[in-house]
Amino acid sequence: MALSGVRLGRRFDHDLIPDPRSRLQPIILCLASYEKGAEFLRECRNLGARVHLATLERLKDADWPREAIDGFWRMPDEHSRADILNAVSWLARTERFDRIIALDEFDLETAAALREHLRIPGMGESETRFYRDKLAMRERARDGGVLVPPFTGIFHHDDLRTFVDTTPAPWMIKPRTEASAVGIRKISVAEEVLTVLDELGDRQSFHLLERFIAGDVYHVDSIVNDGSVVFAEAHRYASPPFHVMHRGGLFCTRTLPRGSEEDIAIRRANEALVGAMGFRRGVLHTEFIRDEEGRFWFVETAARAGGAHIVETIEAATGVNLWREWARLEVATIRGQPYTVPPSRHDYGGVLISLARQEWPDTSAYDAPEVTWRMRKRHHAGLILASHSSDRLDALLTQYMVRYQEDFYASMPAPDKPTA
């Protein structure tokens, strides 16, 4: 058996647990290749669900909310799909799972395969591709009428030559299934396209080529129920994530001025994207670029909660935690109950994170009352701020970014694979 683990929380006793078919106590299996989703796990438990977590051996000592977990299961860091299919099928001999949830983007495909194999409700493998494969999601968004940069798959080289000849430079070569800006390359001359493809070799078909659109990068984080956006928060990055990862700089994103032209426009673009994708239920993190003419171009979407403490930033501004609401939505659906988003505030939130020269940087000098959270992580300096005033938040973030450069900022080469 490839999976090992222990049961935590309540004592597990087959003679005492209620009928697993009962909607009163759903059984949820969560998958996590990175340490995240603690609030999802806690809220599932708070709602009366039994929670199992399958993670990797290297994360066995991570800060999981053990009190909320009934079954804690570990897979070897290197394992095959067959290994986890066999392991979870073994668990299913005594557990009738109502849902399988991927807490991280890199677990979406595994969760889909398990749902297909065990015939559990939720997105299957074909549908999941639209939220993992950048080529598939672009095709679906374009076919649904969403504005998408010109792109092509990297298959037939005559098609590539036609694309390069007819699409203005620069271009971006992107891995189809990585997250964030990992593995993305910006190319300005046609000869370099061929050079990069030669470097990729047999991996080139796992990439796409698209036109680079200059502009500010935005993200919308949504809760979707029955195909409708029931909650959304719109933010703009201070610098595009691609630039931060490849050129260095500070990670910063903040709530858009509410009711502004850009706020209204990007919310409409997000609703159009959700409709085009046919997304039914869950949370989405979606990115757009706004060009010089004010048009919003679709970049990518992911069926997960946003990373880089975006969830906590949204909570600081609104009081709504997307992890907890996602759990409430899933449990309500299992029980056949309606889901309602809780009342929210309409303040403004921003997050600022930098690699730090110091092992444990001291941010206590950043003492504005708007600071609601401080990062505690080796060689990182991070703050979340919240304010009733968009102008006040802007002023603080601008000031703090200048000070961060002097006090903490450090850089390192872009990783070739995700680190969190």
Task: Find tokens 């073994």 and name the residue.
Answer: 90
Sign of CA dihedral 192, 197, 200, 204: positive
CATH value at residue 61: 3.40.50.20
**Residue 270 sits in the same domain as residue 357:** yes
Nearest to 349, CA basis, from 383, 326, 324: 383
Q: Torsion over CA of 378, 241, 385 and 260, rounded to 10 degrees?
A: 180
**What pLDDT, in 10s, does the model give residues 257-292?**
999 999 999 999 999 999 999 999 999 999 999 999
> Of 78, 99, 130, which closes a domain?
130
DSSP string, 288-323: EEE-TTS-EEEEEEESS--TTTHHHHHHHHHS--HH
For residues 343 and 322, membership in a common domain is answered with: yes
| pLDDT at residue 411 in the model | 85
Helices (H), 47-133: 81-91, 108-118, 125-128
Does residue 168 share a domain with residue 195? yes
- Same domain assignment for residues 277 and 370: yes
Gap between the Cα atoms of 105 and 301, Å rounded: 11
The string of pLDDT tens digits covering residues 317-358 is 999 999 999 999 999 999 999 999 999 999 999 999 999 999
Q: What whole-number percentage of the chain has pLDDT above 90?
A: 88
Give the tens place of pLDDT for each residue, 60-106: 999 999 999 999 999 999 999 999 999 999 999 999 999 999 999 99
User: Does 330 reside within a domain?
Assistant: yes
136 within a domain of the structure (yes/no): no
Per-residue pLDDT, 131: 97
Which residue reads 């999981």 in tokens?
A: 64
The CATH number that applies at residue 177 is: 3.30.1490
Which residues constitute the domain of residue 162?
Answer: 150-211
Which of 136-150, 179-193, 207-221, 285-299 has the weakest average pLDDT?
179-193
Q: Are 169 and 190 in contact (CB under 8 A)?
A: yes
Do 207 and 269 fall into the same domain?
no
pLDDT exceeds cutoff 90 at 183 = no
Q: Give domain status of residue 420, yes or no.
A: no
CATH code: domain of residue 220:
3.30.470.20
Does 275 reside within a domain? yes
Range of lowest pLDDT (14-18, 46-50, 79-83): 14-18
Burial class (CB in 10 A: 0-12, 13-18, 19+), 201: exposed
Q: Pick from 191, 211, 231: which residue ends a domain?
A: 211
- Provide the β-strand partners of residue 383: 352, 374
In a domain, 104, yes or no: yes
The answer on 261 and 400 residing in a single domain is yes
CA distance 129 to 273: 16
Binned at pLDDT 50, 70 and 90, residue 148 comes out as very high
In 198-239, DSSP assigns E strands to: 207-211, 216-225, 228-237
Structurally, the chain folds into a number of domains equal to: 3
Percentage of the chain exceeding pLDDT 70: 90
Q: Is residue 403 part of a domain?
A: yes
State residue 244's pLDDT score. Answer: 73
Q: How far apart are CA 146 and CA 274, in angstroms?
A: 10
Question: Do residue 276 and residue 344 come from a single domain?
Answer: yes
Same domain, 59 and 173: no
Q: Which helix (H) or strand (E) holds 251?
A: strand 251-255
Whether 415 is in a domain gets the answer: no
Residues 194 and 314 in one domain: no
Please give the pLDDT value at position 170.
96
* 199 shares a domain with 159: yes
What's the token pair of residue 156?
A: 């037939």
pTM above 0.85, yes or no: yes
Residues 389 and 257 in one domain: yes
Q: Contacts by 7-12 with C-beta closer than 8 Å and gap 24+?
A: 7/70, 7/71, 7/72, 8/66, 8/67, 8/69, 8/70, 8/71, 8/72, 9/45, 9/51, 9/66, 9/67, 9/68, 9/69, 9/70, 10/50, 10/70, 12/70, 12/71
Domain boundary among 72, 102, 130: 130
Contact 105, 133 (CB under 8 A): no
- Res. 197 pLDDT band, cuts 50 70 90: very high
Q: Which residues pair with 225 in a beta bridge?
A: 228
106 and 158 share one domain: no
Q: Is residue 381 part of a domain?
A: yes
**Distance from CA of residue 346 to its chain's centroid?**
23
11-20 mean pLDDT: 35
Q: How many CA atoms lie within 13 Å of 157's alpha carbon, on the beta-carbon side? A: 6
